[in-house]
A = this chain, B = another copy of it.
Amino acid sequence: MIHVGVNGYGTIGKRVATAVDAQSDMAVVGVSKRSLDHEAAAAVDRGFKMYTPETGAENATGGCDVPVTGNTEALIAESDVVVDARPAGVGAANASTYTSTDTAVVFQGGEESTVAPASFCARANYEETVGQRSTRVVSCNTTGLARLLSPLNEQFGVESVDCTLIRRGGDPTQSDRGPINDILPDPVTVPSHHASDLQTVLPTIEVMSKGVTVPATLMHLHSLTVRLERAPRTDAVRTCLGDERRVELITSGCGQDSCADLRESAHDRGRPRGDVWENCVWSDSLSVDGRSLSLLQAIHQQADVIPENIDAIRALATDTDAETSRQLTNDALGVGLTSSVA
């Protein structure tokens, strides 16, 4: 049994805790949160022990009366592996704490790649994290790209990829973020950071990435053109991607023609928080011209890295191989949008 602590209980942390709780080979030691708000109250009501930084919790008073078990240092000491889901940049500041207690740690993609000896995507480079004491799960967009390109690279050889990432402005509760009525080059510089980030897990692929942010909160959308070494047949690409449980081919005739429809499907199937863990590739968008493959895929920014965090925990704490871990994670969560009815 792997004893897992979750340090940071926001968008990613709360989902990692729920997912760890669903694994038969893992147990949640507790979660750490600064603000004892409605999210902390719900966590305790779910049965998670609540820890807070030694500096004390903000909003400890007010309407929410949340029982606290101990401080974050205690949580780290009691855990075999800690998933650090604190805000971007804060994780690196915690690094020494993990080292001092010799606790293995999974950082998130908001940190610089130098925060850990390896960056991680379960389908691309699981093995590079085995035997390490820390790793970094790449960001939601990079995870979505790596998951798609890894099987294509194995079967057809990927020479280069050109992707435009149409990015959501913020998550649903981030009401204070923009844009509210604009389309922003984000960043204005080209390539965006996604190109170099993707190369931390798939170093051999040449990448051009451009980011544009729009007024949306549901999902990101990727417009991709992939240059392959061997010209594929379109149905061979469909078969290649269809074999991936973390890639969902969205077929026509089912009315899933928008990001909102994809989230609605997840809600209807009883997914926790209506999460879509899979890359959603619109099957009708697959277009092959010689060695060029073009497609559109949607990525749920709050959810696609969650299975990756679970696999990263196993890579750090056990000798489970990549395929076995991915299958354990997929089966425990119900990955595969058409196979996950509550």
Take A173-B264, A267-B273 as given contacts and tell me if A251 and B62 are in contact as well, using a CB distance cutoff of 8 Å: yes
- Tell me the chain A residues, 245-293 only, with Cβ under 8 Å from chain B: 251-256, 258, 260-261, 263-265, 267-270, 272-274
Take A61-B253, A62-B254, A173-B260 as given contacts and tell me if A341 and B42 are in contact as well, using a CB distance cutoff of 8 Å: yes
Give the complex CA separation of A45 and B273 in angstroms: 19
| Interface residues of A, dominant DSSP | loop
Q: Is the CB of A62 within 8 A of B252?
A: yes
Residue from B39, B258, B261 in contact with A255 in the complex, judged by beta carbons closer than 8 Å: B39
A176 to chain B: closest residue by CB: B258
Q: Is the CB of B172 within 8 A of A264?
A: yes
- Tell me the chain A residues, 30-71 only, with Cβ under 8 Å from chain B: 35, 37-39, 41-43, 45-46, 59, 61-64
Q: Is the CB of A39 within 8 A of B253?
A: no
Q: Is the CB of B273 within 8 A of A42?
A: no
What is the size, in residues, of chain A's interface with B at 8 Å between Cβ atoms? 43
Q: Is the CB of B38 within 8 A of A258?
A: no
Q: Is the CB of A254 within 8 A of B63?
A: yes
Q: Is A338 an interface residue when CB atoms closer than 8 A count as contact?
A: yes
Q: Is A100 an interface residue when CB atoms closer than 8 A count as contact?
A: no
Q: Is the CB of B38 within 8 A of A254?
A: yes
A264 to chain B, nearest CB (A): 5
Q: Is A14 an interface residue when CB atoms closer than 8 A count as contact?
A: yes
Bitwise, A134-174 to B at CB < 8 A (1) or not (0) is: 00000000000000000000000000000000000000110
Given contacts A42-B268, A173-B264, 19 further A-B contacts (CB under 8 A): A14-B268, A37-B255, A38-B255, A38-B264, A41-B338, A42-B265, A46-B270, A59-B253, A59-B254, A62-B252, A63-B252, A64-B253, A64-B254, A172-B263, A172-B264, A173-B260, A175-B260, A268-B273, A273-B274
A-B residue pairs, 9 tightest by C-beta = A62-B253, A63-B251, A37-B255, A42-B268, A63-B253, A38-B254, A45-B341, A267-B273, A63-B254
